[in-house]
Structure 1
């Protein structure tokens, strides 16, 4: 494939013999067009815009060569050469002025000289066309790019720039030309930094990319990626500098949100593991205290101390519930709920918790959509938020609870997908948060309160609740301007459900049977076995799944298995599958300090740690009754 097709020549002469002679000279190297008059030559130029060189005779009837070339210049940018058989200096000068001829040759011509003259003219045409193309491309780039672009000389003065760059400098485009960019900046430090960055790129003689933070008056900081590209001459010297600037503020914000989401996920995984181990400890502590209480303590003081220890252990259980809500390892009971009614249900509790120094305002949307949420956990989240607001206003103040319907577009609210949501905002008139505190507000155990006055789990629990519900939590705050925490809960597509009524009837007792207890934690296993023994059952204890399967093969009298869900080597899920293959009708109760709902086998009951003897007794009675 010929990437450089031959140049096109237009030969104009009224003598056929001259046209034949010229054609014979050029046709091996050029594409040749011929015309016997100036008028015919103009017709050809109109139809053939890509003629590189015109060679015209001067003495022609109707239209002389200089006149023809003058008219040709109006429709073509071709190079032009004049042939004349007379020493007509006036015609040559006229052709130079109007036809802008590149040269002239006498008749008869010297073939080698004329051929060389035409070659040079064709090359000039190609160079001019290439320059025009580059100028058009550059102009198109400058005008169409939304990114600020500029070209500067070695002294940092603008040679070319686009409207976006001029707008960034708050200067009319033409007024920027010839001015040094550094001198147009506010502040000595900014000017010095720009000169240093430009000089470094010029010295390296290769493209340099930097990420710069820029602060505009009255606006938030922006992040800008600046590419500095030195332009080298034929000897490799950097003579000019091209700069391309791209605003990275939105991308940086997305990256920070992604980083924060990844950090929260890692913290959630850690929190779930901590809660699991803590619940095992609480099960042993709470179970032992309850067993001690039921032995019949000799002195009232001893009973008070044990009951006080039980209350403390139950408070520890509440902390693990908050951790599990944050880590999304606690299975929520999501249902379509009337959020306005849930707010009204906890209003008395909120007022008692806040005290007389605080005023609680409610602004509830009467047409509020039902939302998918766990009502119990929502009430706890609302209480946590109001207590946080109270603690931010030690001298008293106002707290507002607002509800509203909102349709969110994609990427409009943090990590929230587009759709319909019910928003619940808790606002206070407190001291507010600086940005560095807001960035850590959802992290578990992070608190600005004094030691002993906060666990740092309130906001993390709220965040975990909304994320597990399919929504999110957003904080808006500034020092001295108070704080607003807004919960976004997904809109329910069915009417709000009425709260289920609690059946207070006593659970039936179970006849004594042999129960297999499987748990790798000896303290938990002992407490579970003792509870079951106190209920009258015969207990067989094993520390792992392999031993449990062996016991099921050897002990046909086992009627119930109580197993931990998370164990090394063989998990509770794997154990239930093996047990079902051996004893398809065997009732199984799973115990867990945390439970990702996806990990629990479908159809198996789960008892959360820490549990009381009455909780275990209820499940055992129900399973043995079936």
Structure 2
């Protein structure tokens, strides 16, 4: 006599065990489709991931889980056709839950054959939203790190060059001042010296901008309200825009104080307003806005949200091509025509923001405009 423990399981027992196994899996939606793609079975994983009970979903076409644009593109039918032709179909994409929310899915479709007849498909779906988003954050952090290292390397080179150039300018300016004293009132010599001095002063301005980008500019930081700083120079910004550009402000009241060099802050805003004006030769609108925002630092991996006082200058000008947006912060890089810009304005803004303990960002859409934001940590924030 054979004991029950040694008795082979019957087909009914195997079917029940298989059903229990599939129903016990909650991390995967495992279900069967008929040959046309209608749901014929549904496990607890499908209910957990997609939100449908078996009574709600059995009999429906599985295209219900796809985004409308994917259905219109025929992706559900293409998946079944690929599984039928190749014996398996694997893909990753966005799918819909019952409540309309999207989730990132990894899916596998296997054909089920009975002899030479296709009787349906086995479909497995896994929710990979968290790992997908974590991967995107890692890519963004790696990209930010590479960009930060690149800018740091350029900054070190720029710092050395700016100091050497500044030393040369000091000798030139001192020599010009001596020549001016010994000109003996000769109008021609005086004119030549004045022209040379203007060029030297322009060179000194360039070195200050380079040092600002390289974070070597000496800042005199004090506690300031950015709205007060903006109001103090608002008329200057308005005149910088010129007659063809509408100038607007959107200043959030009661912003916390920030520690910032007022003169350098105003110089940065002048650069941004002038850039916006130049991007709209036929007219447009420049808006200066302030607000308190919560965001993570883009230059720090896995940074947490924290408060920043944000000052932004936006225009509705020509915009910047996507492949050029990240380069505009580099010194001497400019999207303007030759002779119409030194390429130091935005690099100065980014350098000033970093040296002030914050950061700057730029966003642009070709044909729609550009917005540059200077984000500064509030005092005590």
* TM-score calculated relative to the size of structure 1: 0.46
- Whether 1:187 and 2:61 are equivalent positions in the alignment is no
The alignment partner of 2:128 has SS state of strand
Q: Is the 8 A contact 1:425 1:486 kept in 2?
A: yes
The separation in 2 between residues aligned to 1:116 and 1:460, in whole angstroms, is 86
Instruction: Show the counterpart of 2:99.
Output: none
Instruction: Show the counterpart of 2:289.
Output: 402
The alignment partner of 2:150 has SS state of helix
Q: Per-residue CA shift, 1:570-613, capped at 9, x if unaligned?
A: xxxxxxxxxxxxxxxxxxxxxxxxxxxxxxxxxxxxxxxxxxxx
The separation in 1 between residues aligned to 2:200 and 2:380, in whole angstroms, is 40
- Whether 1:244 and 2:126 are equivalent positions in the alignment is yes
Instruction: Show the counterpart of 1:338.
Output: 225
Residues 191 and 307 from structure 1, CA distance in 2 versus in 1: closer, same or farther, beyond 3 angstroms? farther
The separation in 2 between residues aligned to 1:120 and 1:344, in whole angstroms, is 90
1:268 is aligned, of 152, 169, 177, to: 152
The alignment partner of 2:72 has SS state of coil
The separation in 2 between residues aligned to 1:492 and 1:178, in whole angstroms, is 55
- Whether 1:424 and 2:311 are equivalent positions in the alignment is yes
Residues 189 and 318 from structure 1, CA distance in 2 versus in 1: closer, same or farther, beyond 3 angstroms? farther
The alignment partner of 1:175 has SS state of coil
Shift of 1:129: 7.2
Instruction: Show the counterpart of 2:174.
Output: 290
Residues 414 and 291 from structure 1, CA distance in 2 versus in 1: closer, same or farther, beyond 3 angstroms? closer
Shift of 1:294: 0.9
Q: Per-residue CA shift, 1:191-238, capped at 9, x if unaligned?
A: 5578558866739xxxx7x666x799xxxxx995746487999xxxxx
Q: Per-residue CA shift, 1:306-351, capped at 9, x if unaligned?
A: 4433433432333343333334344433321122222133234324
Q: Per-residue CA shift, 1:17-60, capped at 9, x if unaligned?
A: xxxxxxxxxxxxxxxxxxxxxxxxxxxxxxxxxxxxxxxxxxxx
Shift of 1:378: 0.6
2:163 is aligned, of 279, 293, 297, to: 279
Instruction: Show the counterpart of 1:451.
Output: 338
Alignment: residue pair count: 351
Shift of 1:287: 0.9
**Aligned alpha-carbon RMSD (Å):** 4.4
Higher relative contact order (CA 8 A, sep 6+): 2
Q: Per-residue CA shift, 1:367-409, capped at 9, x if unaligned?
A: 2321121212111111011111111221233323223334x15
The separation in 1 between residues aligned to 2:273 and 2:41, in whole angstroms, is 59
Shift of 1:280: 0.6
Shift of 1:363: 3.7
Q: Is the 8 A contact 1:363 1:403 kept in 2?
A: yes
Residues 253 and 351 from structure 1, CA distance in 2 versus in 1: closer, same or farther, beyond 3 angstroms? same
Q: Is the 8 A contact 1:438 1:475 kept in 2?
A: yes
- Whether 1:374 and 2:261 are equivalent positions in the alignment is yes
The separation in 1 between residues aligned to 2:21 and 2:309, in whole angstroms, is 56
1:462-473 superposed matches below 5 A: 462-473=349-360
The alignment partner of 1:450 has SS state of coil
Shift of 1:297: 4.6
List alignment gaps of at least 5 residues for structure 2. 97-101, 114-120
Shift of 1:178: 8.1
Structure number with larger C-alpha Rg: 1
